[in-house]
Structure 1
Amino acid sequence: MRPLTAHIDLDALRHNYLQARRSAPDARAMAVLKANAYGHGATACAEALNDLAPAMAVACLEEGQALRAHGIQCPIVLLEGFFEADELDEIITGDYWSVLHTRWQVEALLARLAHWPRHRVTVLIKCDSGMHRLGFSPDEVEAICQRLQAHGGIEQTLLMTHFATADAPDSPLLISQLQTINTLRRRLDLPGCFANSPATLSVPAAHHDWVRPGVMLYGVNPLETDHAQHDDIDQVLKPVMTLQSRIIAVRDLPAGEPIGYGARHVTDRPTRVGVVACGYGDGYDRHAAEGTPVLIDGQRAGIAGRVSMDMLTVDITGIPGAGIGSRVTLWGRDASGAVLDVSEVAQWCDTIAYTLLTGIMPRVPRCYHQDGAFDTSCDASALF
């Protein structure tokens, strides 16, 4: 078996969910599991949170169907709503909560409810409070809510919005969005579902009835960093994914030798190079810069040369004990206890942690650990 594995610590996932609840103690927290639980495996993560989360959220009905097929029975929120009217029969009968963000969705839902007189549904009316991506304008929301609330097929109507700059709590846009949505909520007297991960952690005025923790569940600090200001967040969130491989070959090169495609890296001294079984075909970012950190048996080293499809190369000159078979942690928690934050790796790749986590390809086996055990072995036959 190829040594590259994504180890998923389900105890850390549960810890981070409970931290979201502690951050917003008067709200209920729906666990956001879209994009295959940000690359971690939606069904396994849903099962780990099933006794904690009163609702879960996904992007679309297909993602919800995968959870239902694995026995998840709590309400599942469809964050983009539905795309075709023929999805509605399953939404109405399957305890899905749909976001409504356009008029045609409202009309289609009300028309379809006539075919299911014994069923009632919960909907989330999305208000565009300033992000200008999805949602009704604040001036439209009141009439739409009144129409829905007057219909006998609507069980509950929640007011929803999404913040563009919640990772920067002092942002003027965030303050404006909060004023808009909180004014509307008070006027309509509706339960609110406003706070994403950064707002859950740092914007109490956005908590209200429901919060939507997403990337924080997976151990990523969602706040704009200035790490000095948010060290407390880095301490309370635990990394869930550890992407780990091994050195499969070692090359000893003199000064002046190129490494890898394009000869981007040329050795400036005698150099030991470790070849690692991980590349952009696995989802590791090809744009990783020279020196992008990895951990080798708990010690930091840096990438040397361009990332290939199936391999990358690291400078192991300063780690004499490193060799074929040495454990390489691309991000996450090494078995020694050392941690390499996926957000730090993302900065070296000129991207964000979300991209790295969701980009890990299906060919990389996910190995799930819980009950306090961290195991560097993985039985591939038990993964899927």
Structure 2
Amino acid sequence: MTRPLRARIDLAALRHNHSVARRHAGATALWCVVKANGYGHGQVRVAEALAGVADGFALLELDGAETLRAAGIRQPLLMMEGFYSEDELPQFARLRLIPVLHSPAQVRWLVDSPLLADLNEPLPVYLKLNTGMNRLGFDAADFRQALTLLRASPRVAGITLMTHFADADEPAGIARQMARFDALRGGIADMADGLPLCLANSAALLRFPEALGGAGDWARPGIMLYGCSPCPELHSAADLGLKPVMNLESEVLAVRQLATGDAVGYGSAFVAPGPMRIGIAAGGYGDGYPRHAPSGTPVMVAGRRSRLVGRVSMDKVCVDLTDLPDAGVGAPVTLWGDGAAGHLPLEEVAAAAGTISYEPLCALTARVPVVVVERAS
């Protein structure tokens, strides 16, 4: 008998969420972001499911790009941190990868490296501008020089300008960074005008149409493709018309009666305030469930909403069955998503654990069996 924990990946829900992104994008093309193993859903699995509708895929990992090409993915591939060293340039040329350039060193490698002396076809590139995130990207002082070198290089087929918003999912929005972006472009309008743009992530795509552009421009939906709201404090996934793609399902393994004062789990972090009935379900931080999810974190059991009690352990969680007298061993448990036990938005679980939905998705471990379905209508 196998351990009763599984992640059900709903590819129909994935394509539905892409259609939501497409509707918001209008004429703007879409990079489907599949970094971090497709946000834990399987990079190749996601790319193959979207191959018939995606304009291109965006990722970070060079080995991932190699795997996608070997799997037959022919769409453009955007490498969101470019190449990490000069010796990666031949692979970029061979695989026809589009680098995002964010440093002067990358520009110099691309235009000067002898490793590209035999380049048969020039590469499109993205030039990333720092507009306030202050991670990667060119500031004003280096922007003109980088653009000058790239425009003059026969190795460059075309240039797209890109930035990344820090507050698109927050009330502050994107106005400050948009103003900074416009100022950077305006400072060298003679060189930057007319270049295509790639600005909007999931939150900006859904909330700020002014970040989209139009034909020839691109947006980068990520978390919304996987059915989670990029701005859960403002809009739920259901509000946005998104459907969960990963559904983590379990079962009750055992049932225990507690007396007043009985403690549950490591550290005796939960103490029964009165007589209780609890269930022990498969699934813990060894599977990717957030270890810091506290007592009270929502869980669905046999079609009814309940809560965790006690600390999450490596392999198990404990759930309150006090008000669920019919739920016993074998009762279905939904840890997040749409499961046999009912619907539970991952955003609620993540919020209770003090994190965001991205983290548990990406944290799903290899020991969790994955079942692929086509269920969403």
Residue aligning to 1:17: 18
Residue aligning to 2:357: 353
Tell me the CA shift for residue 24 of structure 1: 1.4
Residue aligning to 1:123: 125
Distance 1:23 1:65 in 2: 31
1:160-239 matched pairs, under 5 angstroms: 160-168=162-170, 170-171=172-173, 174-185=174-185, 187=189, 188=192, 189-208=194-213, 209-223=217-231, 225-226=233-234, 230=235, 234-239=239-244
CA contact (8 A) 2:346 2:357 kept: yes
Tell me the CA shift for residue 364 of structure 1: 0.9
Tell me the CA shift for residue 170 of structure 1: 4.0
Residue 322 of structure 1 aligns to a residue in which SS? Answer: coil
Tell me the CA shift for residue 234 of structure 1: 2.6
Q: TM-score, normalising length from structure 2?
A: 0.93
Q: Name the CA shift for 1:233/1:313 in 2 (closer, same or farther; >3 Å).
A: closer
Tell me the CA shift for residue 243 of structure 1: 0.5
Give, as a single letter, the amino acid of the residue that structure 2 aligns with 1:61.
L
The equivalent position to 2:284 in structure 1, one of 279, 284, 295, is: 279
Distance 2:237 2:14 in 1: 18
Residue aligning to 1:366: 370
Tell me the CA shift for residue 371 of structure 1: 5.7
Q: TM-score, normalising length from structure 1?
A: 0.92
Distance 1:199 1:233 in 2: 18
Give, as a single letter, the amino acid of the residue that structure 1 aligns with 2:151.
Q
Q: Name the CA shift for 1:79/1:191 in 2 (closer, same or farther; >3 Å).
A: same
Distance 1:81 1:145 in 2: 16
Residue aligning to 1:58: 59
Residue 234 of structure 1 aligns to a residue in which SS? Answer: coil
Give, as a single letter, the amino acid of the residue that structure 2 aligns with 1:307.
V
CA contact (8 A) 2:90 2:116 kept: no
Give, as a single letter, the amino acid of the residue that structure 1 aligns with 2:352.
W
Q: Name the CA shift for 1:185/1:345 in 2 (closer, same or farther; >3 Å).
A: same
Distance 2:309 2:358 in 1: 24
Q: Name the CA shift for 1:233/1:279 in 2 (closer, same or farther; >3 Å).
A: closer
| Structure 1 alignment gaps of length 5 or more | 374-384
Deviations 1:293-350 (CA, angstroms, capped at 9, x unpaired): 11012211111111111111111111111111111100001336x4211111011101
Deviations 1:272-302 (CA, angstroms, capped at 9, x unpaired): 1101110111111111111111101221111
Tell me the CA shift for residue 128 of structure 1: 0.4
Q: Name the CA shift for 1:304/1:114 in 2 (closer, same or farther; >3 Å).
A: closer
CA contact (8 A) 1:169 1:203 kept: no
The equivalent position to 2:256 in structure 1, one of 247, 251, 259, is: 251
Distance 1:232 1:41 in 2: 21
The equivalent position to 2:344 in structure 1, one of 334, 340, 345, is: 340
Residue aligning to 2:84: 83
Residue 236 of structure 1 aligns to a residue in which SS? Answer: coil
Tell me the CA shift for residue 142 of structure 1: 2.7
Query: Which stretch shows the higher mean deviation, 114-123 or 10-19?
Result: 114-123
Distance 2:344 2:375 in 1: 22
Distance 1:257 1:176 in 2: 54
CA RMSD in angstroms comes to 1.7
Instruction: Say how many residue pairs are matched.
Output: 367
Deviations 1:220-247 (CA, angstroms, capped at 9, x unpaired): 1112513xxx358634111111111111
The equivalent position to 1:153 in structure 2, one of 136, 152, 155, is: 155
Distance 1:175 1:297 in 2: 46
Percentage identity across paired residues of the two chains: 43
